[in-house]
A and B are shown apart, each in its own frame.
Chain A
Amino acid sequence: DTGVSQDPRHKITKRGQNVTFRCDPISEHNRLYWYRQTLGQGPEFLTYFQNEAQLEKSRLLSDRFSAERPKGSFSTLEIQRTEQGDSAMYLCASSFGMNTEAFFGQGTRLTVV
């Protein structure tokens, strides 16, 4: 296992378009997190899963954002009708439980033009 992988690494899209990101966690990890990071800030919580169950979604997240983890393995994060304010680094992390370290992917940098 080579760790957490995210695809794509970079995405440039026009405002109003839909985008989808993929995260492949470490195989035995049951927890998967999505965060958004903008310049000068720490990772902002978006949502997380335990196996295939989505446990919580940030109240700050609009209905344009949705995430799935259909078989408890990989996850997708979709942003519909992108806005310039969605430009950020989107980070995925996985862990085995809450009391063990989380491993992060390299992130997907989204630029909305």
Chain B
Amino acid sequence: ILNVEQSPQSLHVQEGDSTNFTCSFPSSNFYALHWYRWETAKSPEALFVMTLNGDEKKKGRISATLNTKEGYSYLYIKGSQPEDSATYLCAEAGGTSYGKLTFGQGTILTVHP
């Protein structure tokens, strides 16, 4: 993998459903993996920053895991609510000795009431 890639590109779920997204990243020169939520007309806001292989982080109904050896991270949302509708971005800090922050294209989540 040469770039940060996210899947799926978009997702429609019903209120109450649980869902998950994938972020794949180059596993060489890795420093950190970031997840952001970007709501319409707002700025992206950080959810998690993870650095260690096997890291798991949780904030309310949202959690994330990290596998640096194989170069992927999962973001999980339990019991989706309409207010969870947003674009979810992951970003890798790495790739060079200075650790620039490179974003994927995002997963657009729409939660229907």
In the assembled complex, the Cα of A20 lies from the Cα of B55 at a distance in Å of 41
Q: Do A55 and B98 touch across chains, with their CB atoms under 8 A apart?
A: yes
Contact residues in A for B6 (Cβ distance below 8 Å): 42
Which chain A residue lies CB-closest to B31?
Answer: A98
A105 on interface, CB distance cutoff 8 Å:
yes
In the assembled complex, the Cα of A72 lies from the Cα of B101 at a distance in Å of 18
Among A45, A56, A101, A103, contact of B103 (Cβ-Cβ < 8 Å) = A45
Binary contact track B1-32/A, C-beta < 8 Å → 1, others 0: 00000100000000000000000000000011
In the assembled complex, the Cα of A50 lies from the Cα of B100 at a distance in Å of 10
A110 to chain B, nearest CB (A): 17
In the assembled complex, the Cα of A32 lies from the Cα of B105 at a distance in Å of 20
Interface residues of B (CB under 8 A from A): 6, 31-32, 34, 36, 43-46, 49, 51, 89, 91, 93-94, 96, 98-106
